[in-house]
Structure 1
């Protein structure tokens, strides 16, 4: 049975992954659909503003906190190698680190950076916006599933 600080780290990791999954599901379920329904110039401008606001401490603390906790839990799990929950904890760490954080860095952030350079009122902006919404949202679905599965895996590791 996982106990003490290791238990606390795992619970906090599960909660953090769940919070991140909640933010991402909101984007997949309705935010991106709402932005896509706007005229392209308005959608681009709104998403540019969202991308700036997302870098504030409230979200970044949870997002990066879950990343750090996943890394720490992976190391602690390898060092302690508990009798129970090892596979679930390592799976949760991998899901978050690669499926959520890794996808964010490799897929979503580059698209956000490209969108930041687009003039919302231009024809190029409108053309990029159409592909951006589809691609960004598809990768966001991956992040959502990975963060959700990571939280679930951490919980299974505790049972």
Structure 2
């Protein structure tokens, strides 16, 4: 395994961990709050996660996985690029943006849909990690 692949494996694993933590701890914890408190907390989380460390990991992993695709590890690379990066940009980010613009009535729909798609991202990142590790 080359250095680039090792870094991609590590990065996809870290991203899987981030999404896993949201699925099993953060979102269930927010579900126990009132809609107003949960929405306020999630809005703060969404603002704070846009930091240089997270963005470097999230975007850098997409670049690394795109390179992996071109180096023949197509399945592992595409699992991250499509199942994490594209999904985040097409589904989760628009939902986060809508959460900013709407009132507390949107919270229950947001919680259900956002968490479902977050599960998909966690699974895709985990599958990417394993698949890249296996050389696919």
TM-score bracket relative to the smaller structure: over 0.9
The answer on 1:35 being equivalent to 2:30 is yes
Shift of residue 58, structure 1, vs aligned partner:
1.2
Distance 1:76 1:33 in 2: 39
2:60 to 60, 65, 75: 65
Q: SS of the counterpart of 1:66?
A: helix
2:99 alignment counterpart: 115
Distance 1:36 1:139 in 2: 16
**TM-score of the aligned structures, taking structure 1 as reference length:** 0.83
The C-alpha deviation readout for 1:88-120, integer Å capped at 9, x for no partner, is x210011001111111011100000001113xx
Shift of residue 156, structure 1, vs aligned partner:
0.5
Q: Which has the larger radius of gyration?
A: 1
Distance 1:67 1:116 in 2: 26
The answer on 1:102 being equivalent to 2:97 is no
Shift of residue 74, structure 1, vs aligned partner:
1.3
Shift of residue 73, structure 1, vs aligned partner:
1.5
The C-alpha deviation readout for 1:66-96, integer Å capped at 9, x for no partner, is 101001121233xxxxxxxxxxx21001100
Distance 1:11 1:44 in 2: 38
- Contact 2:76-2:128 within 8 A present in 1 as well: yes
Q: Unpaired segments of 5 or more residues in structure 1? A: 78-88, 119-124
Shift of residue 36, structure 1, vs aligned partner:
1.2
- CA RMSD, 1 decimal: 1.1
Show the 5 A alignment for 1:19-34. 19-34=14-29
Q: Unpaired segments of 5 or more residues in structure 2? A: none
The C-alpha deviation readout for 1:109-151, integer Å capped at 9, x for no partner, is 0000001113xxxxxx222000000000000000000000000
Equivalent pairs, count: 136
